[in-house]
Structures are given as structure tokens and as C-alpha cells.
């Protein structure tokens, strides 16, 4: 609890934290409501086109399917809270607060555990935002009378695990590089461009290793929304069947990332 209180004191006095979390609080609901408006505009067109889209897509923004749809669309923007994670660990070395923590009596493991708590705090804030967005969108859509509102709520822990895993990768980059802007450049380039190119090329060449790239492992915790199954029913069933395996892979990869961080921290000069 003392570590958590100390880290919260750092976070709440850090303007960039509030700025980026503010952008997160705006972008996540903004994107989801944009997608919802596009859906309504396209499916409520006059004529057969709108009716056909309604048949093919159903209503991905209706509970319980909304848990899945909003988790998927929100996960695309995890690079925004990743900025907070990278800048926060980089600032520890820029302003030498890591050294001050050790002088004040923290062990090296306590310092790294405190950083893990930072990543967990940001993850929980993002998860709470995802839940709030889903509940609000639920009020704008009539619930399915034949389904429980919580039928697909298992996407909440999947979304939390995915977010924590990908923010942990961002943390590792920031921790190893130390320089905020260089770390941000590396992570954003890998997140938005490099891995997507690798996944696309390896998938085209039918080389299955693309499923085990660092971000792709956790991306597969939340497959595309259910209406995509109409495009490839068998492939969609396989993606759903593989979720449990990727939960295990994600936990293993995340554990390895933090073990690397703890190991490097035990040997690195202050």
C-alpha cells in the first residue's frame, strides 16, 4: 500500500498523465459512438441495402454482443495509454527519482513492483472506461429479451488482460531505452506499422508463426465482432476456439516481460 500511495502521488502531480488519460477518456467513447452512428446510418438506409446489412450484421452494439464489439474497437487504441506508461518510466530516469526511491529505502524489487502497479492502475482505469462506455451504449439500444446482459461479459477480463499485456510491452520498451520520445517512436512504429505488416505478410504466405508475435498473441484474445463470421464461418469458429490458448500464451509472455524487467533492474547501474 505504501508503494501504491507513493506512485499515486507521482501520477497525480504529473500533468502528462492527466492529459493523456483525458485523451483516452475522449477517444475511446468517441470512436465507439462514431462506429455506432456509421452502423445506424448504413443499416437504416431506405431500400434493400439497409435491410441486407441488418440481416448480415445484426446489432453489434446491443447487449450482450456490445461487450465484444466495444472491447474489440477499444483495443485498437491501447497505444494512447501506452504513452503514459512509457513517459512515466522514462521520467524516472530523466529526473533520477528511481535513485531517490532507493536512497529512501526501497529495494530494487520494490521499485520495479511499484512500476508494475503503475501499469496495473492505468489498465484498470482503461477497463473501467470500457465498462462505462458499454453500459452507456446499452441505454441507447434495446436489450435482447432472449439473452442475459452478462452473457458475453467474459470479454471484460479478456480486455483487461490484453490491455495489461500490451502496456507491459510498452513499459519494457520505455524501460530498456529510457528516452521517452525514442521509446514512443519505437513502440508506435511497431504497434501501428511493423507488426501489422509482418502479420499480413506471414498470413499471406501461410506461415502460422504470425499468431505468436508479441502484440498478436494478446490481440487474439478479442477476435473481430461476431458479424465477421458471415465472411468466414470456419475461420471465425477457429479464432474463438483459440482464445483459451492465447490467454495462456499472453500470461506467459507478460510474465517473461516482467521477469526481464526485474532481472535487468537487479543488475543495472542506478
For residue range 115-156, what is the model confidence (pLDDT) as tens digits? Answer: 999 999 999 999 999 999 988 887 776 655 555 777 888 999
Q: What are the b/e assignments for 18-35, b being 16+ CB within 10 Å?
A: eebbebbbebbbebbeeb
Q: How confident is the model at residue 13 (pLDDT cuts 50, 70, 90)?
A: confident
Gap between the Cα atoms of 39 and 162, Å rounded:
26
Gap between the Cα atoms of 10 and 121, Å rounded:
13
pTM score, two decimals?
Answer: 0.90
Biggest alpha carbon–alpha carbon distance for the chain: 72
Model pLDDT, residue 248 = 97
Whether residue 246 contacts residue 217, with contact meaning beta carbons closer than 8 Å, is answered with yes
CA-only gyration radius of the chain, Å: 20
Whether residue 81 contacts residue 126, with contact meaning beta carbons closer than 8 Å, is answered with yes
Q: How many domains does the chain contain in total?
A: 1
- Dihedral through CA 218, CA 246, CA 109, CA 92, nearest 10? 0
Whether residue 250 contacts residue 239, with contact meaning beta carbons closer than 8 Å, is answered with no
pLDDT digits (tens, 9 = 90+) for 24-62: 888 888 888 888 888 777 777 776 766 676 666 677 788
Q: How confident is the model at residue 222 (pLDDT cuts 50, 70, 90)?
A: very high
Model pLDDT, residue 1 = 81
Cell numbers for 177: 531505452
**Helices and strands of the chain, counted as H and E runs:** 13, 0
Whether residue 129 contacts residue 192, with contact meaning beta carbons closer than 8 Å, is answered with no
Residue 266 vs residues 71, 183, 221: alpha-carbon distances, Å: 36, 21, 32
Cell numbers for 106: 526501497
Q: Can you list the alpha helix ranges (DSSP code H) found in 149-204?
A: 155-177, 180-189, 195-204
Of 81, 71, 95, give the one whose Cα is nearest residue 10: 95
Is residue 244 scored above 80 in pLDDT? yes
Range of the domain at 257: 2-267
65: Cβ contacts below 8 Å, ≥ 6 apart: 58, 59, 152, 225, 226
Polymer length of the chain:
270
Average predicted confidence (pLDDT) for the chain: 86
φ, ψ (nearest 5 deg) of residue 200: -65, -45
Q: How confident is the model at residue 239 (pLDDT cuts 50, 70, 90)?
A: confident
Amino acid at each position: 500500500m505504501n508503494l501504491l500511495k507513493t506512485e499515486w502521488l507521482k501520477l497525480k502531480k504529473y500533468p502528462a498523465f492527466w492529459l493523456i488519460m483525458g485523451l483516452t477518456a475522449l477517444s475511446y467513447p468517441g470512436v465507439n459512438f462514431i462506429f455506432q452512428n456509421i452502423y445506424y446510418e448504413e443499416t437504416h438506409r431506405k431500400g434493400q441495402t439497409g435491410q441486407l446489412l441488418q440481416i448480415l450484421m445484426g446489432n453489434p452494439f446491443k447487449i450482450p454482443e456490445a461487450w465484444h464489439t466495444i472491447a474489440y474497437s477499444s483495443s485498437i487504441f491501447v497505444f494512447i495509454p501506452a504513452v503514459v506508461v512509457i513517459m512515466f518510466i522514462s521520467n524516472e530516469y530523466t529526473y533520477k527519482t528511481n535513485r531517490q526511491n532507493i536512497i529512501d529505502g526501497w529495494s530494487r524489487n520494490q521499485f520495479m513492483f511499484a512500476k508494475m502497479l503503475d501499469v496495473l492502475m492505468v489498465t484498470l482505469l482503461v477497463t473501467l472506461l470500457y465498462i462505462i462506455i458499454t453500459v452507456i451504449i446499452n441505454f441507447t439500444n434495446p436489450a435482447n429479451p432472449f439473452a442475459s446482459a452478462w452473457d458475453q461479459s467474459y470479454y471484460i477480463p479478456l480486455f483487461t488482460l490484453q490491455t495489461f499485456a500490451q502496456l507491459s510491452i510498452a513499459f519494457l520498451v520505455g524501460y530498456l531505452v529510457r528516452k521517452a520520445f525514442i521509446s514512443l517512436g519505437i513502440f508506435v512504429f511497431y504497434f501501428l506499422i511493423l507488426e501489422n505488416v509482418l502479420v499480413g505478410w506471414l498470413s499471406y504466405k501461410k506461415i502460422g508463426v504470425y499468431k505468436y508475435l508479441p502484440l498478436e498473441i494478446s490481440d487474439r484474445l478479442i477476435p473481430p465482432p461476431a458479424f465477421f463470421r458471415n465472411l468466414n464461418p470456419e475461420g471465425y469458429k477457429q479464432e474463438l476456439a483459440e482464445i483459451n490458448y492465447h490467454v495462456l500464451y499472453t500470461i506467459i509472455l507478460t510474465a517473461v516481460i516482467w521477469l526481464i524487467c526485474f532481472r535487468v533492474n537487479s543488475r543495472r547501474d542506478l
